[in-house]
A and B are shown apart, each in its own frame.
Chain A
């Protein structure tokens, strides 16, 4: 007698579960397939896409490191990513405080404005900013891309930080003020240390968002390409296996960022909303 689970007549239930397990196994394999494929390709000794690879070689990693355009694209992407992270984290954290704590006329509109870049398709954001920047002659500057990415990254920071702020018990801040701290001091000694993990997570999320983003970069970066744009052009024009090496490096980098955010922050789990 198992008390916890009701079993409809034995066999059918087990079959159902086996079929479900197999189905899910196939779905998960489908999800993992592209990731798994990239690794052997990047170590291939063949000079074009060939599967299975005829032999092991590090030539594509060498090619990546020796090609100035790949390296400069990587540097631009890091620059843009770090800039976006700083800008989006500061702006996003401030507005998250305002939205969670404040009550003022027009707040729903601020809320909508801040969330809108997630809902509005990237292509529209990209074209709109492109129009503005083309007039201002800002195309081709890394900070132009950074500004575009910040528009897109702010909502992610706000989402993560405001969730943490909403869970944070305001009476702690009141307690600190009642015990003799000024409002600012209460926020810095009591609130910040506790929502720091969320802010860090938001920052990492902003970085990944920027580092992977293609469409905005496609329009705004001009000849000063980001890594995704360089990859995109490369795929369209030649498809050489250097991309698989870059892909592996990118997977590893994002993996490191996620690991760090797990250790230092509150993690960046998409399961909440």
Chain B
């Protein structure tokens, strides 16, 4: 009798699991059916023929290799430029007076929450043949005929940096806010000149923010679609653009699947490396 009761109670421990598991089920089933399984299927499509021919094509055909390298190059440039713009800005936000910080935050968040499409459109209006820049240069007499500023890599970079830079600022700012100002003072007090105090004390302490921001920006860059299509005008092809073309124009699902998997693999490698860095960083601390 007692043992029966205990047995029931033991299952009570499973009952403790039952609630949380039940709560997770709707979302888990939803995401499995509508996200995980379709992605796996896309992956399987790419090797459906039983060979890796599509991957071979993607990684050997000069046309596609160029696009892959181009994607990588643009992602890297966007990350570096974003860092150069974001680091000083994030630092400034931590030392600025409350008023300037509020202004800075507004200027950062306002575009951040504005639709990417709206912003990309605005860049077209700014950089176009009859855009603001050309009009200004014309009226100043610096040029006689409008120069072409759109539909090249620089235009894509401008648009992408504009969209992605805030993603660099936020983690940097979060980390910098926690750096104890006494540490810098201690470094000064110990006789370090400003730049050495920065290089040896401040920058290493903000490293987690740099890594978080950089990997975030890099990952997002690699999958970018809107900006290269609109500001690149077909002349700057990134991998996401290629995937879209192969699906909607050529209906070449197998090849699109292979490209998707390549993109996913790159993304996961960057993400995994970042996680690993953060983990070893935490283990050191």
A156 and B228 CA atoms in complex are apart in Å by: 26
A250 and B119 CA atoms in complex are apart in Å by: 11
A residues in contact with B26, CB < 8 Å: 90-91, 94-95
Q: How large is the interface on B (under 10, 10 to 19, 20 to 34, 35 or more residues)?
A: 35 or more
Tell me if A98 and B130 are in contact (CB < 8 A). Answer: no
Instruction: Give 1 or 0 for each of A21-40: 1 = CB within 8 Å of chain B CB.
Output: 10110011111111101100
A13 and B114 CA atoms in complex are apart in Å by: 36
**What's the nearest-Cβ distance from chain B to residue A166, in Å?**
15
Interface-lining segment among A65-73, A171-179, A191-199, A229-237 = A229-237
Q: Which residues of A (93-143) have their CB < 8 Å from a CB of B?
A: 94-95, 97-99, 101-104, 110, 113-114, 116-117, 119-125, 127-132
Tell me if B92 and A214 are in contact (CB < 8 A). Answer: no
Interface-lining segment among B1-9, B52-60, B120-128 = B120-128
B residues in contact with A120, CB < 8 Å: 39, 264, 267
Tell me if A31 and B113 are in contact (CB < 8 A). Answer: no
Tell me if B264 and A243 are in contact (CB < 8 A). Answer: no
Q: Is B32 engaged at the interface, CB distance under 8 Å to the other chain?
A: yes
Q: A34-B162, A95-B23, A273-B171 are in contact. Are A128 and B89 (CB under 8 A)?
A: no
B residues in contact with A270, CB < 8 Å: 109, 112, 166-167, 170
| Other-chain residue from A104, A123, A130, A273 in contact with B223 (beta carbon distance below 8 A) | A123
Q: Is A163 engaged at the interface, CB distance under 8 Å to the other chain?
A: no
| Other-chain residue from A32, A116, A124, A148 in contact with B111 (beta carbon distance below 8 A) | A32
Please give 16 more A-B residue pairs, beta carbons under 8 A apart, in addition to A34-B111, A103-B20, A123-B263. A8-B194, A27-B85, A28-B89, A28-B103, A31-B166, A34-B126, A37-B122, A51-B125, A116-B31, A117-B35, A123-B225, A125-B35, A127-B243, A127-B247, A244-B125, A247-B115
